[in-house]
């Protein structure tokens, strides 16, 4: 019988990475990684799949389990649409320095280029240093030819829209929107399973060997949605012991739970796996009568679609992101 699954994080050292996975999310393995920029919490990439760490399925990859359990694990609707590919990538990002200004293709453009799908994503800020910012789109409408001239003249920063952020800030980044994470931000990212990124600008930075990082200006100019001018943070109000909607997209649904009392969850109508990303505190997931699994800050757990209901019991107080397929 399937049960809530936990996975071994996949850590990525980045030129812009920092130390907050260790100092704030208590990921002990990151203590010796000097610039740990990403922690892949749930990955369905064939080359780097997540590996289960708990229960009798420990040591198996997520992809192997989908092959065996199919709709019982991900949901019949999800399995019919995506087959043996887990459709999402969940990660934590620690930006000690600014990330490059970039854009991702939508499904149509990605498939023209031989990729299975594009990349729509969302961010939830876990912690932000003073004056930390996110770039979301442009500060005025632009057309492709004008933007090409701005990039060529090294003036891109003058047309970017920056938003000051703090813990709890949230934004939706559909494919085609230019974006960048600013220095001092620790966040959770939920995205389509894709690693196709076009860098438009990288602050004229050089790597350790003195080389400029590769840019993909023409590809980015092709991928940008010039009609999308919704460049604001998501407006929502957290409510204690309520599940609050953050994002409803064609690719994932994300809600916020901030609770200090037990919450009953009924999953029958979802026909989808559910991910719980723990932002703060800890909680027990009680299911099948007396069985339980704990999720703590910095951890992610996957509740299989075959589990029809559960009770989430906070250990003190807890804040979770709840993610499932639409």
Q: Which residues are identified as catalytic?
A: 199
State phi, psi for 310 to the nearest 5 degrees. -155, 165
With a CB cutoff of 8 Å and minimum separation 6, the contacts of 36 are 11, 12, 13, 14, 17, 18, 19, 21, 22, 30, 94
21: helix, coil or strand?
A: helix
What's the rounded Cα separation, in Å, for the pair 294 and 283?
Answer: 6
- Ranges under pLDDT 70 in the chain: 208
Query: Do 45 and 10 form a contact (C-beta atoms < 8 A)?
Result: no
For position 168, what pLDDT does the model report? Answer: 97
What's the rounded Cα separation, in Å, for the pair 280 and 46?
Answer: 30
What's the rounded Cα separation, in Å, for the pair 204 and 150?
Answer: 15
For position 206, what pLDDT does the model report? Answer: 74
What's the rounded Cα separation, in Å, for the pair 185 and 167?
Answer: 9
Of all residues in the chain, the percent with pLDDT exceeding 90 is 93
For position 63, what pLDDT does the model report? Answer: 96
For position 86, what pLDDT does the model report? Answer: 98
For the CA atoms of 56, 59, 62, 64, the dihedral, rounded to the nearest 10 degrees, stands at -90
Q: What domains can be seen in the chain, in order of their start residue?
A: 5-223 (2.60.120.10), 243-324 (2.60.120.10)
């Amino acid at each position: 019988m399937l049960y809530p699954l936990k996975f071994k994080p996949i850590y990525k050292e980045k030129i812009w990475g920092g130390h907050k996975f260790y100092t704030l999310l208590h990921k002990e393995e990151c203590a010796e990684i000097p610039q740990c920029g990403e922690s892949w919490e749930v990955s369905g990439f064939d080359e780097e799949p997540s590996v289960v760490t708990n229960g009798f399925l420990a040591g198996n990859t997520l992809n192997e389990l989908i092959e065996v359990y199919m709709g019982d694990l991900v949901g019949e609707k999800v399995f019919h649409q995506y087959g043996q590919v887990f459709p999402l990538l969940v990660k934590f990002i620690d930006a000690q320095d600014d990330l490059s200004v970039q854009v991702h293709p939508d499904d149509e453009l990605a498939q023209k280029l031989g990729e299975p799908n594009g990349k729509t994503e969302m961010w939830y800020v876990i912690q932000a240093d003073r004056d930390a910012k996110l770039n979301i789109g442009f500060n005025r409408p632009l057309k492709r030819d004008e933007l090409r001239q701005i990039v060529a003249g090294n003036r891109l920063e003058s047309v970017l829209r920056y938003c000051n952020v703090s813990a709890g800030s949230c934004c939706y980044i559909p494919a085609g929107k230019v974006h960048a994470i600013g220095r001092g931000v620790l966040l959770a990212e939920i995205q389509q399973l894709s690693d196709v990124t076009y860098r438009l600008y990288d602050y004229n930075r050089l790597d350790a060997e003195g080389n400029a990082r590769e840019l993909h200006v023409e590809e980015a100019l092709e991928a940008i949605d010039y009609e999308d001018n919704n460049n604001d943070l998501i407006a929502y109000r957290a409510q204690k012991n309520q599940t609050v909607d953050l994002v409803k997209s064609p690719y994932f649904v994300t809600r916020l739970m901030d609770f200090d009392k037990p919450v009953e969850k009924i999953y029958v109508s979802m026909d989808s796996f559910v991910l719980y990303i723990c932002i703060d505190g800890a909680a027990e997931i009680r299911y099948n009568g007396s069985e339980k699994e704990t999720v703590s800050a910095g951890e992610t757990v996957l509740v299989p679609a075959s589990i029809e209901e559960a009770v989430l019991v906070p250990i003190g107080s807890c804040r979770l992101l709840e993610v499932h397929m639409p």
